[in-house]
Amino acid sequence: MAHDRSIPQHRRLYDILRRHISEGVYSDGDLLPSENELCRLHGLTRPTVRQALSNLANDGFIRKHQGKGSIVSLMPKEIGILSVAGTTSAVGGKNLRTDILEKPRIIPWPADFMFPLTELEKESGCVYMERLRLLGNIPVFYDITYIANINLPRICARKFDNRSLFAVLRDHYGMEIKGGEQRIKAIEASGKTARYLRLKAGEPLLHLERKMLTNYTDHFLYSSIFCNTEKYSIFGRF
């Protein structure tokens, strides 16, 4: 037990394989080393390895086939906002640029917020920010983010430009997204939304309302996302 015991071994293997996949050590369609081989390579037992692989399969990075092996299943080049890890990592970050429209600032929660709030959240106020995400100079996402202002010192001073919001939350506050729920609607573009996404008023547009759970109980992350799906579709696995 020479390793840091705070991070489970199956999680560590998950992270390694996930990084290898995203860095191209394994390509789409490749066979991962077999479970027994991974055991030998990392000095783990099969159940531990299997848990890592099972999580990778659940998150859509591999597909397992009995008798054959685990096959790397890379996300297509389309936009994977429906995936767990958030936009930036799903697209691979290659052509995605993020513009900050409104830097994070503390405001009271909007009346008639899209999700019900706990008392603690209401008292704490909320961190508000607006971002525009462009894929090859085409604006595709207009994100409005709300986070309850609980244990997030100096968040208004952070830089969110070229990093995923999720990465900042993880690195500075140890906050990890564990899942969430979302509602999707097709609506008509109008006003600010149309302007940012370069759509004419009345053109169809996707609207997502998301509530994300974190590793901190009762601390959620909310966002309202408007998507221009004219050129890019939203892609998801299930």
Residues that bind DNA (CB under 7 A): 5, 8-11, 32, 34-37, 44-48, 50-51, 53, 64-70, 217
How far apart (Å, rounded) are the C-alpha atoms in residues 93 and 167?
12
Contacting a second copy within 43-62 (CB under 8 A)? 54, 58
Q: How far apart are CA 114 and CA 116, in angstroms?
A: 7
Beta-carbon count within 10 A of 134 CB? 14
Contact call for residue 204 and a second copy (CB under 8 A): yes
Q: Which of residues 75-94 bind a second copy (CB under 8 A)?
A: 76, 78, 82-84
Question: Strand pairing partners for 212?
Answer: 180, 221
- Quick one: which of 181, 192, 195, 198 contacts a second copy (CB under 8 A)? 181
Nearer to a second copy, 90 or 155 (CB): 90
Min. distance of Cβ 159 from a second copy in angstroms? 27
Least CB distance from residue 23 to a second copy, whole Å? 23
CB contact burial 215-232 (16+ within 10 A = b; e otherwise): eeeebbbbbbbbbbeeeb
Q: Does 188 bind a second copy (CB under 8 A)?
A: yes
Least distance from C-beta 218 to a second copy, angstroms?
12
CA distance 196 to 212: 24
Query: Looking at beta carbons only, is 129 or 206 nearer to a second copy?
Result: 206
CA distance 197 to 227: 8
Please give the Cα distance from 124 to 149 (Å, whole number).
Answer: 5
Binding site for a second copy (CB under 8 A): 54, 58, 65, 76, 78, 82-84, 179-188, 202-206, 209, 217, 227, 229, 233-238
